[in-house]
């Protein structure tokens, strides 16, 4: 019996800084190992937005990449809001995390509008927040990754941080928060890629996607020993 699960990559052509493919690959492979049939769809500016999406992932980009997609994303805003309201899980990293907020004020004085799906806004900075980072998530424990951003993101009253910073800068280097969450939409600055070394976070997204479609999630047994060891090493490395 075939049990498809449809993963949409948002703007893979323009928003794909280091390792964003790793997140898609991990979702794809874990679905297979859990006994489902992953289907990967790409959405680039101007494409028809597909029906029937179970999970959305999006990544980081250069300034030029953000510039290319910003208008198109505005058009998708209502659609993404309604999907989020229906409980569709999403993971947006770095550049798309910023544009899932209200707006991004760049250092050169421009304001890039976001879609306000997360109650956050971002201000361009002159120093890069860069290096290994460890955070703590209330449900899945430690999250490890690598951050590399000059934008500083601030949470509004309606936003919940994804995790609290144990070591590293996080959203802004000031308030000890990292990322943001609303419904099942997760925004984060963690690359690494984030999902390979944090398989419980990957499974959290997958469980939600599968439950939405099939009512229940029956996880398979996956050997995560390399991930555990890699996490352990990552936490000991210099920033």
Partner 1 sequence: MPIPLTTALGKVVRRAALARGGGSAFPGLFVERLDPSYVRRVLATLPRGVVVVSGTNGKTTTTKIVVDLLESQGLRVFTNRTGSNFVRGVAAALLGAVDLRGHLPADIAVLELDEAHAVHFVKEVAPRYSLLLNVMRDQLDRFGEIDHTARMLQSIARATTDAVVVNRDDPRLGAQAFAEGIVGPALRSYGTSIEVSARFPSDDNLYGGSEGAPHPAPAVYVDDTQLDSFEGDRAQISYAGGAHSARLMLTGVYNVLNATAAIALTRAVLGDDLREPQMLEALSKVRPAFGRGETLQIDGQTCAMVLVKNPAGFRLALSSYDPADTATMIAINDNYADGRDMSWLWDVDFGSLRAGGVTTVGGVRAYDMALRLQYDDVPVGGVTPDPERALEEFLGATTGQDKRIYCTYTAMLAIRKVLGTKGALDKVIA
∠ CA(85), CA(86), CA(88), 5° rounding? Answer: 100
Q: Which of 95, 151, 97, 101 is nearest to 126 (CA)?
A: 151
Least distance from partner 1 to the Cβ atom of residue 42, Å? 8
Q: Please say whether the dihedral angle defined by the alpha carbons of residues 73, 74, 78 and 82, taken in this order, is positive or negative.
A: positive
Nearer to partner 1, 2 or 64 (CB): 64
Assess whether 103 carries a catalytic annotation: no
Nearer to Zn ion, 94 or 201 (CB): 94
Binding to partner 1 by residue 13, rule CB under 8 A?
Answer: yes
Q: Please say whether the dihedral angle defined by the alpha carbons of residues 134, 13, 149 and 172, taken in this order, is positive or negative.
A: negative
Binding to partner 1 by residue 95, rule CB under 8 A?
Answer: no
Binding to partner 1 by residue 235, rule CB under 8 A?
Answer: no
Binding to partner 1 by residue 110, rule CB under 8 A?
Answer: no
**Are the C-beta atoms of 66 and 58 separated by less than 8 Å?**
no
Nearer to Zn ion, 20 or 203 (CB): 20
- Binders in 66-95 for Zn ion, by CB under 5 A: 94
Q: Which of 236, 54, 71, 64 is nearest to 144 (CA)?
A: 236
Q: Which of 179, 183, 15, 158 is nearest to 83 (CA)?
A: 183
Binding to partner 1 by residue 215, rule CB under 8 A?
Answer: no
Assess whether 94 carries a catalytic annotation: yes
Binding to partner 1 by residue 167, rule CB under 8 A?
Answer: no
Binding to partner 1 by residue 237, rule CB under 8 A?
Answer: yes
Q: Which of the following is catalytic: 34, 94, 149, 184?
A: 94
Which one of Zn ion, partner 1, none is in contact with 215 (Cβ closer than 5 to 8 A by kind)? none
**Are the C-beta atoms of 143 and 190 separated by less than 8 Å?**
yes
Label residue 218 exposed, middle or buried (CB < 10 Å: 0-12, 13-18, 19+).
exposed
**Are the C-beta atoms of 113 and 70 separated by less than 8 Å?**
yes
Lay out the site mask for partner 1 across 178-197 (x = CB under 8 A, - = otherwise). -------------xxx--xx
Which one of partner 1, Zn ion, none is in contact with 94 (Cβ closer than 5 to 8 A by kind)? Zn ion
Interface with Zn ion (CB under 5 A), residue total: 4
Least distance from partner 1 to the Cβ atom of residue 194, Å? 9
Q: Please say whether the dihedral angle defined by the alpha carbons of residues 62, 150, 137 and 77, taken in this order, is positive or negative.
A: negative
Q: Which residues are catalytic?
A: 94, 191
Contact positions vs Zn ion (CB under 5 A) = 60, 94, 148-149
């Amino acid at each position: 019996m075939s049990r498809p699960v449809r993963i949409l990559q948002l703007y893979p052509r323009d928003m794909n800084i280091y390792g964003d493919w790793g997140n898609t690959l991990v979702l794809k492979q874990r679905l297979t190992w859990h006994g489902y049939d992953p289907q990967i769809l790409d959405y680039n500016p101007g494409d028809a937005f597909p029906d029937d999406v179970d999970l959305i992932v999006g990544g980081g980009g250069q300034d030029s990449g953000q510039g290319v997609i910003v208008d198109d994303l505005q058009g998708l805003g209502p659609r993404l809001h309604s999907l989020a309201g229906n409980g569709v899980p999403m993971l947006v990293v770095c550049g798309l995390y910023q544009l899932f907020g209200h707006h991004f004020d760049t250092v050169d004085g421009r304001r890039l509008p976001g879609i306000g799906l997360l109650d956050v806004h971002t201000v361009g900075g002159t120093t890069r927040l860069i290096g290994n980072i460890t955070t703590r998530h209330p449900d899945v424990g430690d999250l490890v990754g690598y951050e590399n951003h000059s934008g500083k993101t601030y949470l509004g009253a309606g936003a919940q941080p994804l995790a609290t910073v144990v070591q590293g800068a996080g959203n802004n280097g000031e308030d000890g928060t990292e990322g943001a969450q609303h419904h099942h939409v997760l925004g984060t600055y963690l690359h690494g890629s984030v999902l390979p070394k944090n398989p419980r976070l990957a499974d959290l997204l997958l469980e939600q996607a599968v439950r939405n479609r099939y009512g229940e999630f029956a996880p398979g047994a996956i050997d995560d020993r390399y991930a555990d060891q890699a996490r352990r090493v990552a936490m000991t490395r210099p920033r």
